[in-house]
Chains A and B, each alone.
Chain A
Amino acid sequence: MNITAPCVIERMPADEYHAAEGLSNSGLTIIARSPAHYYALKLDPNRPPEEEKAGQLEGTLAHCAILEPEQFDKRYRVAPNMHRGTKVWKELDASATADGLVLIQLSQYDTAMRQAESVRRIREVRDLLDSGRPELSAFARDPRTGVIKKCRPDWTHEFDGGAILMDVKTYSDASPHEFKRQIARKGYYRQDAHYRDTYELAAQTTVHGFIFLAVETSWPYQPSAVMLTEEDVEIGRQENEMLTETYAQCMERNRWPGYGDEISLVTLPKYITNRMEEV
Chain B
Amino acid sequence: MSTEVIAANPFAGFSGNARTEGNAVAKTDQNRAVAEVQAAMMIARMNPRDQIAAMDRILNACARPTLADSAVYTYSRGGTDVSGPSIRLAEAMAQAWGNMQFGIRELDQRNGESTVQAFAWDVETNTRREVTFQVQHIRYTRSGSKKLEDPRDIYEMVANQGARRLRACILAVIPGDVTEAAVSQCETTMKTKADTSPEAMQKMLAAFDQFGVTKEQIEKRIQRRLDAIQPAQVVSLKKIYASLRDGMSAASDWFDADEAPSDHKAKGRSTTVADIKSRGTKAQESAATEPATTETGKFDPTPEEIAAIEARERAEAVGLFDGAMKEGA
Contacts and interface: CB of A to CB of B under 8 A. Distances in A.
- Asked if A pairs with B, the answer is yes
Interface of A: 124, 127-128, 159-162, 164, 176, 206, 208-209, 227, 229-231, 234
Give the most central of B198, B206, B280: most A CB within 10 Å.
Answer: B280
Chain B facing A: main interface SS: helix
Contacts of A227: 271, 276
A155 to B, nearest CB: 12
Contacts of B277: 159, 161-162, 164, 208
B233 to A, nearest CB: 20
A231 B280 CA distance: 17
8 contacts: A124-B273, A162-B277, A162-B280, A164-B277, A206-B280, A208-B277, A208-B279, A209-B276
Contact of A161 (B199, B206, B284): B284
Contact of A234 (B199, B271, B273): B199
Give the most central of B202, B268, B276, B284: most A CB within 10 Å.
Answer: B276
Interface of B: 198-199, 202-203, 206, 268, 271-273, 276-277, 279-281, 283-284
A128 B199 contact: no
> Considering the complex of A and B, which 4 residue pairs feature the smallest CB-CB distances, nearest first?
A208-B280, A209-B276, A230-B199, A162-B280
Given A124-B273, A209-B273, A234-B199, 5 more contacts: A128-B273, A162-B284, A164-B277, A227-B276, A229-B202
B198 A161 contact: no
Contact of A176 (B202, B268, B283, B284): B268
A230 B280 contact: no
Give the most central of A127, A128, A160, A162: most B CB within 10 Å.
Answer: A162
B33 to A, nearest CB: 32
Contacts of A231: 199, 202-203
A230 B279 CA distance: 13
B281 A161 contact: yes
Given A176-B268, A230-B198, A230-B202, A164 B273 contact: yes
Contacts of B273: 124, 127-128, 164, 209
A231 to B, nearest CB: 6
A136 B201 CA distance: 33
Nearest to B281: A161
Contacts of A164: 273, 276-277
Nearest to A125: B273
Contacts of A124: 272-273
A4 to B, nearest CB: 28
Contacts of B198: 230
A209 B276 CA distance: 7
B273 to A, nearest CB: 5
Nearest to A163: B280
B266 to A, nearest CB: 12
